[in-house]
Amino acid sequence: MNRETRRLLVDGPAGAIECAIDEPADAARGVVVICHPHPQFGGTMDNKVVQTLARAFLQRGYRAVRFNFRGIGASAGSWDEGRGEVDDALAVLAAQRDAALPLALAGFSFGGYVAATAAQRLAAAGTPVERLALVAPATSRFQVPAVPADTVVVHGEADDVVPLTATLDWARPQALPVIVLPGVGHFFHGQLTLLKNQVVQAWHR
């Protein structure tokens, strides 16, 4: 993301996982692991929405950790239809867990599905994350599990990849609020600053 971004490899179930870590200006108040969109459709940890999420969390004082799913960039392995990708996220979370800092999860599109599923598994194991942030989660394409009531969900009104109606249908039984950005599409073209500000403000609340 910038000259100070630190890149490293962590051990994963399919081999090495490539990570990029950005530190906040002051001492970190938490760690967030951010999951990128669908790897078979060009999704990587350098996706502009993923980087926008990293900037939002840096502003909130978090260490931002992005990573490439298996088979992308320097990460070993190959596409596993979402199953192995959740395992990849859990491996990065385990590598980044610090007893002194809260651990959060975020994801965009397919990465939203992965983040929500990983959070569900951690909660079931008795080690829940602090909080979730999901941007345009792939509710029409994957079985996104229910999430905690304080989850931040942002979706574009004009999303033509994951229709807003699909995310509202997923959120409604949970009585889960969804922040809707009027006229905004799936990739938030021209609206990344708005997205960042919404995540920063919602996380603060």
Is residue 1's pLDDT more than 90? no
Is residue 98's pLDDT more than 90? no
- What band does 204 get if pLDDT is binned at 50, 70 and 90? confident
Q: Which of 200, 156, 203, 146 is nearest to 178 (CA)?
A: 156
How do the domains of the chain map onto residue ranges?
Answer: 6-204
DSSP structure string for 27-66: S-SEEEEEE-S-GGGT--TT-HHHHHHHHHHHHTTEEEEE
54-87 per-position pLDDT tens digit:
999 999 999 999 999 999 999 999 999 999 999 9
How much of the chain exceeds pLDDT 70, in percent? 100
Is residue 126's pLDDT more than 80? yes
Is residue 2's pLDDT more than 80? no
The two tokens of residue 42 are 């060009």
Q: Tell me if the domain spanning 6-204 has CATH number 3.40.50.970.
A: no
Q: Give the pLDDT score at 30.
A: 97
Separation in Å, CA 167 to CA 100, 140, 179, 191: 34, 7, 11, 20
Distance CA 112, CA 129 (A): 15
Q: Give the pLDDT score at 172.
A: 98
Paired with 19 in beta bridges are: 8, 67
Average pLDDT score, the chain: 97
Q: Give the pLDDT score at 3.
A: 79
Indicate the pTM of the whole model: 0.97
5-41 per-position pLDDT tens digit:
999 999 999 999 999 999 999 999 999 999 999 999 9
Q: Give the pLDDT score at 158.
A: 98
